[in-house]
Structure 1
Amino acid sequence: MRHFEHFPVGSVYELGATRLTSEDIIGYARVYDPMPFHLDPEAARSPFGGLVASGWHTGAVVMGQFVRALLADSACQGSYGMDEVRFLKPVRPGDELRGRATVEEAAPHPRRPHEGTVRFLVEAVDQDGQPVYRMRTRLLFARAAAGTARREAAAAPH
């Protein structure tokens, strides 16, 4: 399990790849972002020259990669939110999104000695290496020493 100490500044994590289909794009849009250019290839011809994924869909795909590759097996305690979200290039059917997370800052929590905060730059490129998405987020993690101390206290005879 990864704790705060496992995220030194400058660390880079590859998050995997996900290919989006027309069905993925339209299915997401029907539920979460029903703009015509996300639902109908004909309606999308005017502004984008074809069907494009919602930026929020792109973000959800990359967030899924981030969680599966890095956060699910960590001592993450939650997020302070996103400091920046950018949709850099339209994502089209057939595009493959490859995510990457880079640790930009890591610091012990100023008031909680058993926790630390980590700021990540989370980015995605398409199959041509063109940037399509960027997010900065700050997450809270338990410190490894805190987990050890809690386990030892729980195991101690009473």
Structure 2
Amino acid sequence: MSVQWYFEDFHPGQEIDLGERIVTEEEIVAFARDFDPQPFHVDREAGAASIYGGVIASGWHTCSMMMRMVVDGMMCAASSLGSPGLEKVRWIRPLHPGDTLRVRYITQQVKASASKPDRGVVWSKWIATNQHGEEVCTVEGMGMFGRRPREGSHD
């Protein structure tokens, strides 16, 4: 793996477009059967009779898809050291079969570690929208990233 994103590459206000994917009813139901089997996630008739008018993705499924897009679109090429946690998750509107999920990673704040000079923390907000540009979900949290190795170092 070639690292393209180090702590120093992040700055407040930066937006990274992580692409899009179409969400299928099959994946919505499969995820929900395993992890969130509420009727409006797993059953067409129950979904149709609900306030949502059809099957919708679990919010946890939406977050999982967002995570996959963040990993594929950036983290696989980053000096990521994991995350100490999330601060806020918002499910703003339902995600329906056939919707196109688009994710943006927005850097909000960066801070180099005072006690561990080989890393820093990046606070970010992930914004997921549908094909109409409407917000579906937001996730706010932090990630730890390694600092860029100095020239001539053996890091």
For the aligned pair, the TM-score class normalised by the smaller chain equals: over 0.9
CA contact (8 A) 1:114 1:146 kept: no
TM-score, normalising length: structure 1: 0.91
The structure with more radius of gyration: 1
RMSD across aligned positions (CA): 1.3
1:48 is the counterpart of 2:52: yes
SS in 2 for 1:85: strand
1:64-89 deviation digits (Å, cap 9, x = unpaired): 00111111111010101111101110
1:105-150 deviation digits (Å, cap 9, x = unpaired): 0010121111100011101000000000100110111100369623
After superposition, residues 99-138 of structure 1 pair within 5 angstroms as 99-138=103-142
Higher helix share: 1
Runs of 5+ in structure 2 lacking a partner? none
- 2:24 aligned partner: 21
1:83 is the counterpart of 2:87: yes
SS in 2 for 1:9: coil
1:5 is the counterpart of 2:8: yes
SS in 1 for 2:96: coil
Aligned partners of 1:146 and 1:127: how far apart in 2? 43
User: After TM superposition, what 4+ stretches of structure 1 lie above 6 angstroms from structure 2?
Assistant: none
Runs of 5+ in structure 1 lacking a partner? 152-158
1:73 is the counterpart of 2:88: no
Q: How many residues align?
A: 151
After superposition, residues 51-66 of structure 1 pair within 5 angstroms as 51-66=55-70
Aligned partners of 1:14 and 1:26: how far apart in 2? 27
- 1:154 aligned partner: none
Aligned partners of 1:150 and 1:48: how far apart in 2? 56
User: Alignment identity in percent?
Assistant: 34
SS in 2 for 1:47: coil
TM-score, normalising length: structure 2: 0.93
Of residues 25, 31, 36, the one that matches 2:34 is 31
Distance apart, 1:24 and its partner CA = 1.0
Aligned partners of 1:63 and 1:148: how far apart in 2? 34
